[in-house]
């Protein structure tokens, strides 16, 4: 961005908002919105504590397991739906339903079924992230150029060869985009799951901070989670761009 | 145009140009018909022989089912009726004795040139070093030496089709099926390709089946041209241009025999414009 001849660096807008936040924090609003500087100090204070690291470990584990399951089920399911009309007719309404449904409302159901433990958090992550992976994979498979499939067949590809050497690769940009969107939803899933269960991971910490009205701690935790989600998105988007040339030449 | 008139024309044409290619047919198409789901009749009782070691062209107006026939020969789509024999065996699906060159190249954008060219061999389980050696030879054969590690998006349309051609040659099939291979490249490249195709037919000892809607292209490259009528498609004529292909390739385009055959086919195809 260029304002009156001066080229501004990319992060300028962030700095502007940080300054506004800092000023707001020193007014009466500091009651619920403490100044950014003190929140950042608090980040450094709480991150090394055992309770934070413990919560991070539990959250990270649930996040990874949940995503692994969502990808492991979502990608094959999406390929199946992209290939088979019957499977598509049968499953698409459900996938669309779950994609748009307020999933938080389902978390208590999982809680009843699987208890107040890590299993529930993992399943919440799966519930949040899987559907967009399914839909994107399906779209990617359906967009594969028919001549690429004919090419593989004409050179004698078996079903497995066509799947592993053509379908997966040709749909890779869409699959990656689905995984990225799924992971962002998974961050929501893991946090919402923990908040609702509230005796596991960051849920416990949020519960403690809120009940003791430790707003600086509360915001510090949010800041950590937000930056985690943002970094994750950027990393995955970067990975996606590396495969961007597919789209042009497909 | 009624079918009767078509038949009469076909007869006239065959009197005019009796088959002179005495070689045995490598591909035989016997009363093949194709009706698509929904009742669209694409091909109606087509019978054709394709002489071995020659280039035969399927020529006809757009949407006349030339590509459908080629894909039936390739085993990519099943015929509704009739049979196709390649090298004496009935076609039930794709086979190693046939290789296909696609109109839109059909290259894998995530794979390098060498991997694309070696893909047919890869599917057949040929060892990595062996198939790369074969692929390298064919990449050089089509004039792409030095581009082995490039990706399709780094190549021009013409170069991409060279990759498609190298891939078809690499599997060493007896019959190469080409579906409007030069229609997506620019005119200069197209002419160059046509000249190189003549050389390929002369030197490779393979049989080529070529689909095009360009009369000039068909007459320039073909030993035999099967003229297909509008849908439902029949063979309305078989023409064998007797053009000497020795010497300067540019001479052919000024050759009177060449020009006569072009004119003759144009007179035939003109009917379909109405």
Taking a C-beta distance cutoff of 8 angstroms, is the pair A39, A223 a contact? Answer: yes
Taking a C-beta distance cutoff of 8 angstroms, is the pair A99, A131 a contact? Answer: yes
For residue A88, the domain's CATH number is 1.10.3720.10
A169 vs B contacts (CB less than 8 Å): 108, 110
Cα distance from N-terminal residue to C-terminal residue, chain B: 9
Q: How far is B124 from chain A (nearest CA, A)?
A: 8
Cα distance from N-terminal residue to C-terminal residue, chain A: 33
What are the Cα distances from residue A73, in Å, to A69, A130, A174? 6, 8, 16
Q: How far is A238 from chain B (nearest CA, A)?
A: 17
- What sign does the CA torsion over A92, A95, A98, A101 have? negative
DSSP one-letter code for B24: P
Residues in chain A, overall count: 250
* Element spanning B208, H or E: strand B207-212
Could you tell me which of B113, B104, B106, B75 has the C-alpha nearest to residue B92? B75
Which range marks the domain in which residue A72 is found?
50-249
B67-82 pLDDT tens trace:
899 999 999 999 998 9
CB contact under 8 A, A156 and B98: no
Taking a C-beta distance cutoff of 8 angstroms, is the pair B50, B27 a contact? Answer: yes
Q: What is the largest CA-CA distance in chain A?
A: 73
pLDDT band at A112 (very low <50, low <70, confident <90, very high): confident
d(CA B182, CA B192): 10
**Nearest chain B residue (CA) to A160:** B123
d(CA B141, CA A171): 32
pLDDT band at B258 (very low <50, low <70, confident <90, very high): confident
Peptide bond into B232 cis (omega under 30): yes
CB contact under 8 A, B96 and A161: no
Could you tell me which of A236, A247, A232, A95 has the C-alpha nearest to residue A171? A247
Instruction: Enumerate the β-bridge partners of residue B175.
Output: B98, B207
Q: How far is A245 from chain B (nearest CA, A)?
A: 7
A202 domain residue, yes or no: yes
For residue B82, report the phi and psi dihedrals to the nearest 5 degrees.
85, 180
Could you tell me which of A68, A193, A85 has the C-alpha nearest to residue A133? A68
For residue B125, report the phi and psi dihedrals to the nearest 5 degrees.
80, 20
B183 touches chain A (CB under 8 A): no
For the segment A138-146, the average pLDDT, to the nearest whole number, is 91
Strand A2-3 with B207-212, pairing: unpaired
A133 domain residue, yes or no: yes
CB contact under 8 A, B100 and A150: yes
Q: How far is B84 from chain A (nearest CA, A)?
A: 16
The structural domain count of chain A equals 1
A38 domain residue, yes or no: no
A228 domain residue, yes or no: yes
Q: How far is CA B2 from the centre of its chain?
A: 28
A32 domain residue, yes or no: no
Residue B180: left if φ>0, alpha if ψ -120 to 50, beta else—which one?
left
B178-194 pLDDT tens trace:
999 888 888 888 888 88
A145 vs B contacts (CB less than 8 Å): 104, 106
Scan residues 111-150 of A and list those with Cβ closer than 8 Å to B: 145, 147-148, 150
A6 domain residue, yes or no: no
**Nearest chain A residue (CA) to B179:** A147
Choose among B94, B103, B151: nearest Cβ to A156.
B94
B272 exposure class (CB count in 10 Å sphere: 0-12, 13-18, 19+): middle
Taking a C-beta distance cutoff of 8 angstroms, is the pair B60, B228 a contact? Answer: yes
pLDDT for res A250:
45
pLDDT for res B9:
46
Choose among B76, B109, B119: nearest Cβ to A150.
B76
A124-140 pLDDT tens trace:
999 999 999 999 999 99
CB contact under 8 A, B108 and A148: yes
B119 touches chain A (CB under 8 A): yes
A76 domain residue, yes or no: yes
CB atoms within 10 A of CB A17: 11
What SS3 class is residue A213?
A: coil
Taking a C-beta distance cutoff of 8 angstroms, is the pair B66, B58 a contact? Answer: yes
Taking a C-beta distance cutoff of 8 angstroms, is the pair B138, B117 a contact? Answer: yes
For the segment B216-221, the average pLDDT, to the nearest whole number, is 88
Taking a C-beta distance cutoff of 8 angstroms, is the pair B99, A155 a contact? Answer: yes
A169 domain residue, yes or no: yes
For residue A142, report the phi and psi dihedrals to the nearest 5 degrees.
-70, -25
d(CA B17, CA B13): 6
State the ipTM, two decimals: 0.84
pLDDT for res B272:
66
DSSP strands (E only) in chain A: 2-3, 6-7
CB contact under 8 A, A153 and B109: no
Total beta-carbon pairs less than 8 A apart between chain A and chain B: 65
B91 vs A contacts (CB less than 8 Å): none
Q: Above 50 in pLDDT, residue B7?
A: no
């Amino acid at each position: 961005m260029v304002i009156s001849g001066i080229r501004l660096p990319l992060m300028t807008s962030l700095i502007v908002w940080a300054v506004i936040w800092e000023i707001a924090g020193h007014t009466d609003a500091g009651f619920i919105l403490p100044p950014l500087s003190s929140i950042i100090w608090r980040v450094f204070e709480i991150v090394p504590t055992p309770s934070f690291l413990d919560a991070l470990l539990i959250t990270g584990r649930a996040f990874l397991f949940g995503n692994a399951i969502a990808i492991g089920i979502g990608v094959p399911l999406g390929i199946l739906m992209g290939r088979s009309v019957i499977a598509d007719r049968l499953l698409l309404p459900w996938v669309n339903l779950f994609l748009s449904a307020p999933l938080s409302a389902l978390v208590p159901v999982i809680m009843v079924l699987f208890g107040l433990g890590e299993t529930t958090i993992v399943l919440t992550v799966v519930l949040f992230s899987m559907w967009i992976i399914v839909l994107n994979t399906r779209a990617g498979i359906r967009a594969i150029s028919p001549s690429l499939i004919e090419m593989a067949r004409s050179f004698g590809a078996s079903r497995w060869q066509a799947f592993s050497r053509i379908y997966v690769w040709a749909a890779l940009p869409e699959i990656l985009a689905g995984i990225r969107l799924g992971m962002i939803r998974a961050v929501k899933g893991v946090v919402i799951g923990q908040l609702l269960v509230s005796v596991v991971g960051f849920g416990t910490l949020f519960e403690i901070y809120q009940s003791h009205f430790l707003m600086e701690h509360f915001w510090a935790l949010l800041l950590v989670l937000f930056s985690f989600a943002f970094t994750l998105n950027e990393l995955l988007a970067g990975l996606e761009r590396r495969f961007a040339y597919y789209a042009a030449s497909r | 145009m009624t079918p009767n008139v078509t038949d009469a024309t076909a007869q006239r044409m065959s009197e005019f140009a009796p088959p002179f290619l005495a070689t045995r047919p490598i591909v035989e198409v016997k009363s093949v018909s194709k009706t698509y789901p929904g009742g669209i009749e694409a091909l109606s009782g087509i019978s054709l022989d394709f002489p071995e070691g020659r280039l035969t062209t399927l020529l006809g107006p757009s949407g006349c089912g030339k590509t459908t026939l080629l894909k039936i020969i390739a085993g990519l789509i099943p015929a509704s009726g009739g049979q196709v024999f390649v090298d004496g065996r009935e076609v039930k699906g794709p086979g190693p004795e046939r290789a296909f060159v696609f109109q839109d190249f059909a290259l894998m954008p995530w794979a390098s040139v060498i991997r694309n060219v070696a893909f047919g061999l890869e599917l057949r389980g040929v060892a990595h070093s062996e198939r790369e050696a074969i692929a390298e030879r064919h990449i050089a054969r089509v004039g792409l030496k030095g581009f082995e590690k490039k990706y399709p998006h780094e190549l021009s349309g013409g170069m991409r089709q060279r990759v498609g051609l190298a891939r078809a040659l690499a599997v060493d099939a007896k019959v190469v099926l080409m579906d409007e291979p030069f229609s997506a490249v620019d005119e200069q490249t197209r002419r160059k390709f046509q000249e190189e195709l003549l050389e390929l037919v002369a030197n490779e000892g393979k049989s080529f089946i070529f689909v095009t809607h360009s009369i000039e292209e068909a007459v320039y490259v073909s030993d035999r041209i099967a003229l297909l009528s509008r849908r439902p498609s029949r063979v309305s004529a078989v023409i064998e241009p007797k053009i000497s292909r020795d010497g300067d390739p540019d001479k052919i385009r000024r050759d009177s025999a060449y020009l006569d055959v072009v004119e003759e086919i144009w007179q035939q195809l003109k009917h379909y414009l109405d």
